[in-house]
Structure 1
Amino acid sequence: MTATTATAARRFGPLALINLATLLSATGNGITIVALPWLVLERTGRATDAAIVAGAATLPLLLSSLFSGTVVDRFGRRRTSLVSDFLSAVSVSLIPLMAATAGLSVPVLAALAALGATFDPAGIAARESMLPAATKEARWSLDRANSLYEANYNVAYLIGPGVGGVLIATVGAVNTLWVTAACFLASIVTIAFLRLDGAGKPDRETRPESMWTGTLDGLKFVWHNRLLRTLALVDMAVVALYMPVESVLFPAYFTELDQPAQLGWVLMAMAVGGVIGALAYGALAAHVRRRTLMLLAVTALGLCMVGMAFLPPLWVLLTLALMVGLVFGPVGPIANYAMQTRSPEHMRGRVVGVMTSTAYAAGPLGYLLAGPLIDSVGIRTTFFVLAIPVVGIAAVCFGLPALRELDALVVESEVAHSYRE
């Protein structure tokens, strides 16, 4: 084999471009997480209005993520990524444009936030669906590529809010959103350079007949695959119980203490732990079973949540938050591996979309439970109510035979046979 042939056979470009586009797009979303609530509070001064806008940005994610995979499998991965980021850029740009012309009200901001959130899942599903082909061209293992991808995603949500805070202080919340739009446009330019097998328009015979039937096929496939069904149900339960900790319990606790900076430190500790944990998975996967890492993650999460429920001193909370990120960092790469190896090539977008939608469905359920509980029994008791079931879920996971399939060798013919069934 000549040097030229060897170079052509091993291409890192597609994998680098996918990760760069993901970093840019997710950083834009991370900036928005800070900028939108600040913009609302700046204009009305009411936390309720900020919650309305935040809720409006969350609710569309359930349906849009469910159908996003069908969009990917019907119109193509590269095209979906480009169009998704373009529509996200337009929707974000409308906010400063409206501020400069007709003016911004809470309903208008809520509508624009919902519009922007609607397009994000399709872009995420498209880029995740391209990972296996890019990994193959780079001659990496799926575990290594998924480790880098998830760490990259966590980095974006670590730096995005920080960048957003600096921009708000220097150019104001409205102008900060222009930077968010620029992030989406930069992601578009990045993917425009991508050339990858399977990223173009799907063959007619493999495309979903319609959005509805395609989504139903994805739901049926995930439900009939024992491993994917188990992972989806465990993820739903854990997300429903854990998400209120970050979004409701800790904000309520540190608001009572009048220590907003400490809230930021705790959330940052989780994010840093997540980056380290995701990166560590690439090295651990060759030596530790995926099932073992999954069981460790759920068990440690439950125990850390119980420890947090005692509302200990800040240094203990920071340690527990870091531990949560470290042990849960590998969960994203493991879930990606399961989706990539258990789904037929032409259905990968739908499988990613369905699996992602389960987490989005669980989050609002947890918020509905946590809010009234805090008002009625207090933060500490609510913490225990959420934490103890996670320990129970971990105990159940040890007895789930489906999780043993995380370490089973899967060949393409078995996946195709599973789909036909």
Structure 2
Amino acid sequence: MTATETAAPRRLGPLVLLNLATLFSATGNGIAIVVLPWLVLERTGRASDAAVVAGAATLPLLLSSLFAGTVVDLFGRRRTSIISDCLSALSAAAIPIVANTAGLSVLVIAVLAAVGAAFDPAGIAARESMLPAATTSAGWSLDRMNSLYEANYNVAYLVGPGIGGVLIATVGAENTLWVTALGFVLSIVTITFLRLENAGRPDASSAPTSLWRGTVEGLKFVWHNRLLRTIALVDMAVVALYLPVESVVFPVYFTELDKPAQLGSVLMALSVGGVVGALAYGPLSPFVSRRVIMLVAVIVLGAAMVAMAFLPPLWAILALALLQGLVFGPVGPIANYAMQTRSPEHMRGRITGVMTSTAYAAGPLGYLLAGPMIDAWGIQPTFFVLAVPVLVLGIACCAFPVLKELDAPATVS
């Protein structure tokens, strides 16, 4: 235990509430990841339609996440989290309501998915911006807090897809979205009890003067910081190549097999690995270089994706999914640490929003390309097209000297 962890009286309440809210909200999103493409494939059976909906759910994230951080810095972290989850709950509930009244089409599903996705980034940025204060309140180190937070986030994506797969098979895809809405409602209730420094309305002297100007300030800050810029660009590439596997390739593959529960089990294996990997990062961080952990993560992720592209038996896919989650689990805590130690307090929302938006920037392109490629070439060739570049990127990262700054003393410019 470090001196930082014993210096001040501990107040664990904010840490617990913040992680509970994140768990509830992310679980709702984890359910939606399985339900939305399944809802489309039930109606048309076309991978390209599922890809359109997946892209529609991701495209708004690029724009909304870019401005979400500025919204947090303008209106306050706690308030933004509550409003964001409220709007997300309403949009999730709208799908079963429309299904039972006017009826659903691919276009309607895509529009409602896009509307719902647009609200999520503000809540995510608000909660992540409160992490340093919760860390100080608990008397923990940043590495320990980030390890717990990311593990908690992965637990949500472990529970969410599993719940989604089971409920699809029992009550149907449409009714499953009521549980998604419930997740957001529980997050709202939890955050209403949170009291934390810098979580309320920001000081007018440090708040951005406008939505546009604040966002530009965040973009400039990230671009001029070499480490944050590199992490953002690598994250963009990995997200663009990997997310279509979860949201298009695997749903199509398991739909053809008529095995929705197996889809949920693969996504659960990823999350189990992610939970273990993220939790292991906390005790591992004092002894192993952050740079080494990140390089191993990207290289092994790429190698496991290539192996998975051969579409081996389910047990092998599950083992590879577990390995992917295990090695990539620490990447989130490392990225959080880089942001937290290199961003001023009054700009943390903007910088978090910009870094989050870069993760979504190439996602829609990956979705929209993956669907037509599957329709034209089949699942396996498309899988290889997505997997091989991730392995190449991981090897290339070994030549990026800027990643050595992950282990340098923290600097805020």
Task: Output the TM-score relative to the length of structure 2.
Answer: 0.90
How far apart in 1 are the matches of 2:44 and 2:387?
Answer: 33
Match of 2:386 in 1: 386
User: Is the deviation greater in 120-129 or in 375-384?
Assistant: 375-384
Match of 1:3 in 2: none
Change (3 A) 1:375 1:114: closer
| Runs of at least 4 residues off by over 6 Å | none
Q: Percent identity?
A: 74
Contact 2:26 2:157 in 1 (8 A): yes
Match of 2:245 in 1: 245
Q: What residue identity is the alignment partner of 2:145?
A: A
Change (3 A) 1:171 1:315: closer
For residue 70 of structure 1, report the CA deviation from its aligned partner: 0.5
For residue 379 of structure 1, report the CA deviation from its aligned partner: 3.9
Matched position secondary structure for 1:409: coil
User: Is the deviation greater in 258-267 or in 179-188?
Assistant: 258-267
User: Is the deviation greater in 51-60 or in 15-24?
Assistant: 51-60
How far apart in 1 are the matches of 2:345 and 2:388?
Answer: 39
User: Is the deviation greater in 153-162 or in 360-369?
Assistant: 360-369
Match of 2:398 in 1: 398
How far apart in 1 are the matches of 2:40 and 2:166?
Answer: 17
Q: What residue identity is the alignment partner of 2:364?
A: P
Q: 1:152 and 2:152 equivalent?
A: yes
Match of 2:3 in 1: none
User: Is the deviation greater in 267-276 or in 16-25?
Assistant: 267-276
For residue 56 of structure 1, report the CA deviation from its aligned partner: 2.3
For residue 403 of structure 1, report the CA deviation from its aligned partner: 0.6
How far apart in 1 are the matches of 2:131 and 2:252?
Answer: 39
Q: What residue identity is the alignment partner of 1:203?
A: D
Match of 2:277 in 1: 277
For residue 18 of structure 1, report the CA deviation from its aligned partner: 0.4
For residue 314 of structure 1, report the CA deviation from its aligned partner: 3.4
Contact 2:164 2:264 in 1 (8 A): no
Match of 1:179 in 2: 179
Note the aligned Cα RMSD (angstroms).
Answer: 2.5
Match of 2:13 in 1: 13
How far apart in 1 are the matches of 2:19 and 2:127?
Answer: 8
Match of 2:351 in 1: 351
Q: What residue identity is the alignment partner of 1:384?
A: F
Match of 1:342 in 2: 342
How far apart in 1 are the matches of 2:178 and 2:383?
Answer: 38
Matched ranges for 1:28-67 at <5 A: 28-40=28-40, 44-47=43-46, 50-67=50-67
How far apart in 2 are the matches of 1:73 and 1:186?
Answer: 24
How far apart in 1 are the matches of 2:371 and 2:98?
Answer: 33
For residue 252 of structure 1, report the CA deviation from its aligned partner: 4.3
Match of 1:129 in 2: 129
Q: What residue identity is the alignment partner of 1:17?
A: L
Match of 1:203 in 2: 203
Q: What residue identity is the alignment partner of 1:370?
A: A
For residue 289 of structure 1, report the CA deviation from its aligned partner: 1.0
Change (3 A) 1:262 1:300: same
Match of 1:316 in 2: 316
CA deviation profile, 1:267-322 (whole Å, cap 9, x unmatched) = 32222111111111111112111111001101111222232233334333322221
For residue 235 of structure 1, report the CA deviation from its aligned partner: 1.0
Q: What residue identity is the alignment partner of 2:406?
A: L
Q: Which of the two has higher C-alpha Rg?
A: 1
Match of 1:306 in 2: 306
For residue 376 of structure 1, report the CA deviation from its aligned partner: 5.0
Match of 2:193 in 1: 193
For residue 39 of structure 1, report the CA deviation from its aligned partner: 4.5
Change (3 A) 1:109 1:388: closer
Task: Output the TM-score relative to the length of structure 1.
Answer: 0.89
Change (3 A) 1:382 1:223: same
CA deviation profile, 1:100-134 (whole Å, cap 9, x unmatched) = 54444443333222211111100000000000000
For residue 375 of structure 1, report the CA deviation from its aligned partner: 4.8
Matched position secondary structure for 1:206: coil
Q: What residue identity is the alignment partner of 2:156?
A: A
* Number of corresponding residues: 407
Higher relative contact order (CA 8 A, sep 6+): 2
Q: What residue identity is the alignment partner of 1:141?
A: S
Match of 1:91 in 2: 91
Contact 2:162 2:268 in 1 (8 A): no
